[in-house]
Amino acid sequence: MTSRTRLKRKEVDDVLGGEEMWKHADSTPTSCDKCNHGRAYFLQLQIRSADEPMTTSYRCASCGYRWNEN
């Protein structure tokens, strides 16, 4: 005879700020790959080691599509 117990998952905190960080992001004229809108919000984060360049994350101001650039 076997039985299964479902464990409750812990809530994970978003260490990068989640949706709240995009409220204060600056915008720049750039083209969205998905909808070709001409403006996007951006953030720069040091994700890798200190000798690597910062990663720039973009979010389209129109459709909300997200992409990264090294």
Residue 17 assigned to a binding site: no
Find the CATH number of the domain harbouring 50. Answer: 2.20.25.10
Structural domain includes residue 28: yes
Tell me whether residue 60 is annotated as binding.
yes
Q: Is 57 annotated as a binding residue?
A: no
What's the domain range around 41?
20-69
Which pLDDT tens digit goes with each residue over 39-64? Answer: 999 988 887 888 888 889 899 999 98
Judge whether 13 lies within some domain. no
Count the domains in the chain.
Answer: 1
In a domain, residue 31? The reply is: yes
Look up tokens 């790959």; give the residue.
Answer: 33
Is it the case that residue 25 has pLDDT exceeding 80? yes
Please name the amino acid found at residue 7: L
Task: Identify which of 41, 46, 14 has the alpha carbon closest to the alpha carbon of residue 29.
Answer: 41
Known binding residue 29? Answer is no
Of residues 4 and 15, the one with the higher pLDDT is 4
Residue at 6 is within a domain: no
